[in-house]
Amino acid sequence: MDIALHFGVMLCIYTILATSFNLLLGFSGLFAFSHAGFYALGAYATAILAPTLGFPLTLVVAFTVAGLVGASLSIPALRISGIYLIIASLAFQSIVLEVIINWTELTGGPTGLAGIPPVRLFGVALSGDRAFLPFAAVTALVCFFITWRVANSPFGRALKAMRENESAAISIGKNVLAMKVATFGGTAALAGVAGWLFAYYYTFVGPGSFTLDETVLILSMVMVGGSGNLLGTMVGVVLLLVIPQALFFVDLPSQVADQIRLLIYGLVLIGFLLFRPEGMIPERLHRPRRIDASLVPAGSPLKVLEHAVPGAPTLVGSGMQKRFGGITAIASLDITLETGRIIGLIGPNGAGKTTAFNLLTGFLRPDEGEITYRGRSLKGLKAHEIVRAGVGRSFQDLRLFPHMTVLDNVLVAVPRQAGDDLAALFLRPGLVRQQEQDNTARALSILEFVGLRPRAADMAEDLSYAEDKLLVIARLVATDAEVLLFDEPLSGLDPAGLDHIAGIIKRLAASGKTIGIIEHNLEAIRTLCDEIVFLDDGHDMARGTPAALMQDPDLVERYFR
């Protein structure tokens, strides 16, 4: 076996494993310890079926079996997160190994399966390193192209948004559960392809090749190279394949050689975690190309709402109630938001203002009551479906996507992107490319509207607090929602910033948008809102114009003083 050729084949196999795992972990933020399990499924499916099916049907089976198992596993597993997802994925990994070891009639048990016939291409058997390496390289390149295409697409951008803040991704209309299932299934399928290559290369599969150690190695490649960056992953693959090979050339006493090599290998990994935790090529180094100023279209980015009738009811909540155990957060609340008007919700902390927004936008289900948008009931719709229907919201704690650019924070919120569909991404690339250019132009015009156009290529985490507030507005405008609910958009601002954002909100209302706003700045409420609703203990205690309510003796005593 030529060591260089062998290294090349292993580089191809681990490129597929590590880049697909980076798509799951680095881009999606899904920390699952099950990749070696899907790797094993692909390898064993190939070993079992190769004598009867042969190439390329074994590839289809390995890809499909691993992908379907991955997608099926994700449906229950991805309703949990953090340590619970790690535990669930570890359990799956253990189950796969136990099945392999104990189902001896099918898998050969601990001894594995040998004698896998080689791939035959144009009548030529690809046996041996020299013949197999080009075949493995082409397969790895195809798989790398798939992951690269997904990672650098609207779908990949949405994955990063989900990773940064799941609730914020939902608030811009992303179906995060569907995205998780697609990503889990797709990356599992690619791991199955790596297992397919493994089986044909070694002509043997055994349980010892698919243990938890294999998943740890793949994880190490991603972390050393740099998560969220596929080029960094390639660096990690090369480093962690070269280092063990290089250690075999270190002259060590035979009695302790393996232990010392393992110690050196571990110290190298610890060194990366301590001194280069972001990996060799951090995600942040992957900056977008220079933005073409000609992409910014002339005129306002606000779409004309032809059906909008000023003053007509748009979003109506009737008899809304919400209880948390024995605490009633909202009690029989009626609220109507009207086209072209700004309605303010005020009241002391704990009065139920944010809970009311959560009910109106589907982030909470009302225990009782009805919510309608332009006469259509929103009952049964999920939060992301309500955004797509036309009702969007912001959060008091902003919930931006800090490790994405300002432009991408807005661009990801543009609805109905063809590139959000994986099928269109590969089958209609021309449409995706043209739409991406048009959407980029629209996102830039929205940034121009709020005053953030010069910061478009900067990372969101580098913005000032006032600029964060502007970016929240820009992202919400990009959803094209007709109803915009702002949770404390003016808090913590200096007078100049307050006037600037208040002016933007007025312009949104003037364009036909329906605006709801929670705010504690009474002067801003007085000058900004057409009507205010005073909440206390989940009840609407009073409603009317700001001038009328601020002269009410009871409210002055309770709140305004």
Half-sphere exposure of 143 (CA within 13 A, CB side): 34
Predicted pLDDT of residue 300: 65
List the chain pLDDT tens, one digit each, 561 residues: 578 888 899 999 999 999 999 999 999 988 888 899 999 999 999 999 999 988 889 999 999 999 999 988 887 766 666 777 888 888 888 999 999 999 999 999 999 999 899 888 877 888 888 889 999 999 999 999 999 999 999 999 999 999 999 999 999 999 999 999 999 999 999 999 999 999 999 999 999 889 888 888 898 888 888 888 898 899 889 888 877 666 666 666 666 656 766 676 677 777 776 777 677 787 765 554 456 655 655 556 776 666 667 888 999 999 999 998 888 889 888 999 999 999 999 888 888 899 999 999 999 999 999 999 999 999 989 999 999 999 999 999 999 999 999 999 999 999 999 999 999 999 999 999 999 999 999 999 999 999 999 999 999 999 999 999 999 999 999 999 999 999 999 988 999 999 999 999 999 999 999 999 998 888 888 889 999 998 888 888 888 888 888 787 777 776 666
* Separation between Cα atoms, residue 419 and residue 153, nearest integer Å: 6
Partner residues linked to 485 by β-bridges: 393, 516
* Separation between Cα atoms, residue 193 and residue 46, nearest integer Å: 10
Predicted pLDDT of residue 114: 92
Return the SS3 of 417.
coil
Q: What are phi and psi of 356, to 5 degrees?
A: -65, -45
Q: For residue 464, how many other CB atoms are within 10 A of its CB?
A: 10
Return the SS3 of 345.
strand
CATH of domain 308-390+515-561: 3.40.50.300
Domain ranges in the chain? 3-208, 308-390+515-561
Contact 92, 35 (CB under 8 A): no
What does the DSSP assignment read for 158-184?
Answer: HHHHHHH-HHHHHHTT--HHHHHHHHH
Residue reference for tokens 């121009």? 448
Closest C-alpha among 274, 370, 266 to residue 316? 370
H or E element that contains 83:
helix 83-102
Contact 16, 246 (CB under 8 A): no
Partner residues linked to 337 by β-bridges: 315
Partner residues linked to 281 by β-bridges: none
Predicted pLDDT of residue 250: 62
* Longest Cα–Cα distance in the chain: 93
Predicted pLDDT of residue 314: 94
Predicted pLDDT of residue 260: 67
Structure tokens at 477: 């405008």
* Separation between Cα atoms, residue 517 and residue 394, nearest integer Å: 10
* Separation between Cα atoms, residue 560 and residue 463, nearest integer Å: 33
Half-sphere exposure of 335 (CA within 13 A, CB side): 36
Residue reference for tokens 């409420």? 525
Return the SS3 of 33.
coil
Global confidence as pTM = 0.89
